[in-house]
């Protein structure tokens, strides 16, 4: 029998997060006046201990015992060699995937939800508001909130709210409140509904609603499931585990692949490897894969923009399609975000990572091919990473090269059966985004000196 799973014991769990800000410099976020924002300006929205992490440039940050204790419910996550997929593709490439679907919510998102809930609790926060696209992040924060005794309120992008009733039930089982966004419960939501009563919502709108609610009460803070430096930091446990597991397999990746919505599962896997490379380690290619109809890295501008539609967040320099851009309603809800993590954006700008975009149908085709070979139905978001992995494996075959490909299986698709039902019934199609809407959203980017 071939040894498929490379596993670490609980004792071998990483004890520190890797902070890539020790190895690259970054533009600070700006306030509406164009000046850098200080911690005190972020304090109404985020707990101070997380703000400190956001701006820290320490290379290694200790993971508190209280966080490790909860992470150990499912971590360390296995690294799996995809022998059956290799065989199906008849490729000389060695394909490995880090399987994050083993978490209780079914994806990588609890890695940061647990940390954010822990730090919020430490600061006396009683309630956390947030947004969710696919429902994975809302489920993760609901789970973490329940474990740490916090009230959780989730604004769920309307299209997903209707596509995924079981995600709602999952959040509610943990005692969280889940509201379809845009909603009539916030000024930002009502403003959208006034001009677009049939809006299917977007992550940008849901973020505005959640931030607005957090600003209303002193005991309430807001948590974001991706994009921010501290979120990507918490996800680095994935890559750190993977480094040790690749060592155990006596191998090292030539290519590291992750799907990219806000950039956290991609960064979580790739940053520890990129850190090694920046400090003189082995070279490899890092590929961030996004949807062709929300092509932030491949078609967006690298500019200062707001993280939400109502301009409540600071301005951050990132690849953006414009905060007012609402992508068409496709099935990878977690990838429907107008911006990209500033850290991932900067690495793309420096040429350290290579972005790539795939249309929806190609991704589902890849996901089904993977499921048939490896026995796991991936989340629609993850299918983007799989499409790129298959293309890379086929390139290796064409070139006769036995390269090592490592990708992040960011989540399983067991709650995404409507998407698979539609795909298998031939009801999915590749809907183009509107070039006019994109041009308009980019025209509306805030004017920032030097941006």
Ligand X SMILES: Cc1ncc(COP(=O)(O)O)c(C=O)c1O
Task: Report the interface residues with ligand X, using CB under 6 A.
Answer: 107, 133-134, 136-137, 226, 259-266, 334-335, 379, 381-382, 410-411
End-to-end CA gap in the chain? 56
Give the separation between CA 280 and CA 301, rounded to whole angstroms: 30
Give the separation between CA 431 and CA 183, rounded to whole angstroms: 25
Cβ(366)–Cβ(374) under 8 Å?
Answer: no
| Nearest residue to ligand X on Cβ basis | 334
Give, in degrees to the nearest 5, the angle at Cα 404 between 402 and 405: 125
State the minimum distance, in angstroms, from the CB of residue 311 to ligand X: 22
DSSP classification of residue 57: -
CB closer to ligand X out of 379 and 388 = 379
CB closer to ligand X out of 240 and 403 = 240
CB closer to ligand X out of 262 and 367 = 262
CB closer to ligand X out of 117 and 396 = 117
Cβ(259)–Cβ(265) under 8 Å?
Answer: yes
- As a dihedral over the C-alpha atoms of residue 179, residue 50, residue 318, residue 311, rounded to 10 degrees, the angle is 50
State the minimum distance, in angstroms, from the CB of residue 232 to ligand X: 8
CB closer to ligand X out of 91 and 415 = 415
State the minimum distance, in angstroms, from the CB of residue 196 to ligand X: 23
Rg (CA), the chain: 20
CB closer to ligand X out of 335 and 343 = 335
Alpha-carbon separation of residue 430 from 49, 291, 358 (angstroms): 43, 10, 10
Alpha-carbon separation of residue 180 from 189, 332, 440 (angstroms): 10, 17, 26
């Amino acid at each position: 029998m071939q040894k498929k799973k490379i596993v670490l014991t609980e004792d071998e769990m990483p004890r520190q997060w890797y902070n890539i800000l020790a190895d690259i410099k970054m533009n600070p976020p700006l306030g509406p006046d164009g000046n850098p924002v200080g911690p005190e300006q972020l304090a109404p929205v985020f707990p101070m201990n997380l703000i400190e992490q956001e701006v820290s440039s320490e290379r290694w940050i200790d993971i508190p015992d209280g966080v490790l204790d909860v992470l150990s419910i499912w971590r360390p996550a296995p690294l799996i060699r995809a022998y059956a997929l290799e065989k199906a593709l008849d490729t000389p490439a060695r394909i490995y995937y880090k399987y994050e679907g083993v978490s209780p919510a079914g994806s990588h998102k609890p890695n940061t939800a647990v940390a954010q809930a822990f730090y919020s609790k430490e600061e006396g926060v009683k309630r956390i508001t947030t947004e969710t696209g696919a429902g994975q992040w809302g489920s993760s924060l609901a789970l973490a909130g329940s474990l740490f005794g916090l009230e959780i309120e989730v604004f769920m992008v309307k299209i997903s709210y209707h596509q995924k009733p079981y995600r709602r039930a999952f959040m509610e089982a943990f005692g969280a409140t889940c509201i379809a966004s845009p909603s009539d419960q916030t000024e930002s939501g009502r403003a959208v509904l006034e001009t677009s009563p049939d809006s299917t919502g977007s992550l940008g709108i849901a973020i505005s609603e959640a931030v607005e609610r957090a600003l209303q009460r002193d005991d309430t803070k807001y948590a974001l499931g991706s994009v921010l430096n501290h979120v990507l930091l918490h996800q680095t446990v994935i890559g750190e585990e993977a480094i040790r597991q690749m060592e155990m397999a006596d191998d090292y990746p030539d290519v590291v692949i992750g799907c990219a919505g806000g950039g956290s599962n991609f960064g979580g896997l790739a940053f520890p490897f990129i850190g090694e490379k920046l400090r003189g380690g082995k070279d490899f290619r890092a590929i961030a894969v996004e949807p062709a109809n929300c092509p932030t890295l491949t078609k967006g501008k690298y500019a200062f923009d707001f993280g939400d539609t109502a301009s409540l967040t600071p301005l951050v320099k990132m690849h953006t399609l414009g905060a007012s851009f609402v992508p068409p309603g496709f099935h990878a809800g977690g990838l429907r975000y107008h911006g990209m993590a500033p850290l991932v954006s900067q690495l793309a700008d420096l040429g350290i990572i290579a972005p790539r975009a795939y249309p929806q149908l190609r991704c589902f085709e890849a996901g089904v091919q993977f499921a048939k070979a490896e026995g796991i139905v991936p989340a629609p978001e993850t299918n983007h990473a799989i499409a790129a992995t298959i293309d890379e494996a086929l390139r290796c075959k064409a070139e006769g090269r036995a390269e090592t490909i490592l990708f992040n299986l960011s989540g399983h698709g067991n709650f995404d059966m409507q998407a698979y039902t539609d795909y298998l019934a031939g009801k999915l199609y590749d809907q183009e985004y509107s070039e006019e809407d994109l041009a308009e959203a980019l025209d509306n980017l805030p004017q920032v000196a030097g941006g």
